[in-house]
Amino acid sequence: MGEAASGERRQRTDKQRNRTHILEVAEEFFTERGITGSMDAIAKRAGVGPGTLYRHFPSREALLAALLQARDEELEARRVAIQREVTDSRAALTQWLQALDQWVTAFDGLPEPLRVALTEGTSPLALTCQGFVTTTEDFLRAAQRDGHANPQVRGRDLFLSTLATAWARGAALADESSPDALVSLMRTGWEAPARRTTSAGDEGPPAP
Amino acid sequence: MGEAASGERRQRTDKQRNRTHILEVAEEFFTERGITGSMDAIAKRAGVGPGTLYRHFPSREALLAALLQARDEELEARRVAIQREVTDSRAALTQWLQALDQWVTAFDGLPEPLRVALTEGTSPLALTCQGFVTTTEDFLRAAQRDGHANPQVRGRDLFLSTLATAWARGAALADESSPDALVSLMRTGWEAPARRTTSAGDEGPPAP
DNA sequence: CCATGAAGCGGAGACTGCCTCCTTCTTACT
DNA sequence: AGTAAGAAGGAGGCAGTCTCCGCTTCATGG
């Protein structure tokens, strides 16, 4: 990001100022009203025309991506911290999933665009998503190697599950249920471990 | 639904005809384009004005609820069948969850309104949802009684999880992953059952 | 310090979707 | 056939998204 080469004219200062201001306002707005609030309303609150908003961020996803970037870095830092400080691979995976969960819950409604980003690949959010899937895979692989995680499970599935859990949470909050119910369901499943019953050998076939 | 009492005027036949026709068209439309397709487009395809559509079904949810009713009955029948034929409570719960999953996947995008129905209670879908939560609870309780299911888990959580899984599946399909990945994750969790390792007694503190 | 033109700004407005009146037409009943 | 309940239809209000284009502002060269 230095001053570009050769005779390029310097970027106008008002542009940068606007961009920053829009980001501040959008952060506030999305926090208050969730990510589906009106784009024009954001522009208005920022005191700019819709055209300006769209020139800076050509879509809601682009705005979101820019907004998330700061948090991306936090999450990345968290990853490094976990990898350095937590030696037990099971605990590491757990903590990473927890961090992911927090990231995904930054704004109300965030799981939806993240999910489409994960498939469509065209969203500005896609790259970030993909990166975190990979990280999840790393933690998962370590846990699997140590026999702490089911070897069938794959990183992408875990990431999707985290997304899905966060998505569902919107509903869970109204309930008296602890918000952790779904997280722990994802961790241990609903099925009780097959106890060695008196009648031996009914080892269930969970995965045909 | 007999001819109403006393001097009530008979319902106009064109009304009933329209209603039926709208339902047929909507079924087709939602199947093709998912439940977020334009209401006006449905009206147009059915050859009626938007006013007519909205008089019959005052909201998208109402239309959806009417559409789902036929399938509700199928699902209810399935419930009865399972309860009669499947004696193993674990298998019964599994099969019920499978049936639920199919129901929830009837149209693309269905999980979303179902989730809000589960919390807001004001949606026409709410009643149906609540009923299925209760049924899930029944199956779950039986499985728990037999030691086949984790006693911590609650019916509502399982229902929500099914919803969340279906929601996430939209993404999973693009992947090479079997669509069952998330279902089995919900069943068994990601965590490997604590094996008795050579170094005993390192029972980790997973939940601070 | 002013002239200049490229870059950026703003908002009118095209378009689409939701939903509501209000007028016109259809139907059941007498 | 005549009548009125009530159903149908669609114009149109409202709210969003996003684009285009004339106007303004800023960095630069004289």
**Are B160 and A182 an interchain contact pair (Cβ–Cβ within 8 Å)?**
yes
Q: What pLDDT is recorded for position A174?
A: 59
Measured between CB atoms, does B147 come within 8 Å of chain A?
Answer: yes
What global pTM score does this model have? 0.88
Tens of pLDDT, residue by residue, chain A (208 residues) = 434 344 577 889 999 999 999 999 999 999 999 999 999 999 999 999 999 999 999 999 999 999 999 899 999 999 999 999 999 999 999 999 999 999 999 999 999 999 999 988 889 999 999 999 999 999 999 999 999 999 999 999 999 999 999 999 876 665 666 667 888 888 888 987 765 544 444 444 444 3
Q: Is the CB of A148 under 7 A from strand D?
A: no
Q: How far apart are CA A204 and CA B149, in angstroms?
A: 13
DSSP B12-50: PHHHHHHHHHHHHHHHHHHHHH-TTS-HHHHHHHHTS-H
SS3 at position B164: helix
| Nearest-5° Cα angle at B164, B87 to B139 | 20
Give the nucleotide at minimum CA-to-C1' distance from B37: C17
**With the CA atoms of A104, A57, B111 and B129 taken in that order, what torsion angle do they form, in degrees rounded to the nearest 10?**
80
Give the nucleotide at minimum CA-to-C1' distance from B41: C17
Q: How far apart are CA B167 and CA B116, in angstroms?
A: 13
Q: Are A29 and A41 in contact (CB under 8 A)?
A: yes
Residue B189 CB coordination number (10 Å): 22
Q: Give me the CA B40–C1' D8 separation in Å, rounded.
A: 15
Q: Give tens-digit pLDDT for B45-82.
A: 999 999 999 999 999 999 999 999 989 999 999 999 99
Q: Is the CB of A14 under 7 A from strand C?
A: yes
Interface subset of A 46-105, CB within 8 angstroms of B: 88, 90-91, 93-94
What are the chain B neighbours of A193 within 8 Å (beta carbons)?
Answer: 193
Closest C-alpha among A24, A22, A16 to residue A39: A22
Q: What pLDDT is recorded for position A119?
A: 87
Give me the residue from A116, A177, A189 closest to B186, CB to CB: A189
pLDDT at B197 over 90: no
pLDDT band at B198 (very low <50, low <70, confident <90, very high): very low
Q: Are B21 and B29 in contact (CB under 8 A)?
A: no
What are the chain B neighbours of A119 within 8 Å (beta carbons)?
Answer: 170-171, 173-175
Tell me which residue has tokens 């009417």.
B66
pLDDT at B2 over 50: no
Residue B22 tokens, joined:
């709208």
Residue A194 CB coordination number (10 Å): 14
Q: How far is CA B88 from CA A87, A201, B35, B58, B135, in A?
A: 42, 15, 36, 43, 16
Q: What pLDDT is recorded for position A80?
A: 98
Query: What is the H or E stretch that residue B93 is in?
Result: helix B89-104
Q: What pLDDT is recorded for position A201?
A: 40
Phi, psi of B191 (to 5 degrees): -80, 135
